[in-house]
Structure 1
Amino acid sequence: MAQFMDHGMKDITADQLMQAHQADLAVEREEGVRFEKAWADPSSGTVYCLSAAPSAEAVQRIHARAGHRADEVHPVPLAT
């Protein structure tokens, strides 16, 4: 399965990050997505998520259903 990195949401707190991530996890299987990790930059509040998924569109559909569409979803073609 391919990996994707997405980012979105602004001015988010640690509690909001956890709530958003839990909302993604609650529905991720319905699109064959597995969210592996979520980060937030404390200075900007921007959220970054790493996932394994069949497509970028599947990642975006899960985020949309969870109530927080990603601004961008990028494939991660190479990783170590």
Structure 2
Amino acid sequence: MTEFMDVHRGMRGITSDQLMEAHRADLAIEGEEGVHFKRAWADPDTGTVYCLSEGPSAEAVQRIHERSGHPADEVHPVPLTV
């Protein structure tokens, strides 16, 4: 499985509760695409949200986000970590 970092824009003013709600929506259906969402971070001032996941493909990650109602603007594989 590959790790992916995705980026969502336009979520200015997002609260901790809203971020958790979006994350839970992904978790509820992630298994249908063989994806696991590990963490999410947000900057309410810029409206940027980042999600770290593991899955078979960037397309699978995007499909879960789309079905959860918050498609990613970018999905990047991150095959190396230190």
State the distance in 2 between where 1:64 and 1:73 align.
Answer: 12
* Kept in 2: contact 1:13–1:45 (CA 8 A): no
* TM-score normalised according to structure 2 size: 0.92
Count of residue pairs the alignment pairs up: 80
Q: 1:32 aligns with which of 31, 34, 58?
A: 34
Segments of 4+ moved more than 2 angstroms = none
State the distance in 2 between where 1:27 and 1:56 align.
Answer: 16
| Percentage of pairs with the same residue | 70
List alignment gaps of at least 5 residues for structure 2: none
- The amino acid that maps onto 1:21 is H
* TM-score normalised according to structure 1 size: 0.94
State the distance in 1 between where 2:37 and 2:4 align.
Answer: 9
Shift of 1:43: 2.2
Could you say what the CA RMSD is over the residues aligned between the two structures, in angstroms?
0.9
| SS state at 1:68 partner | coil
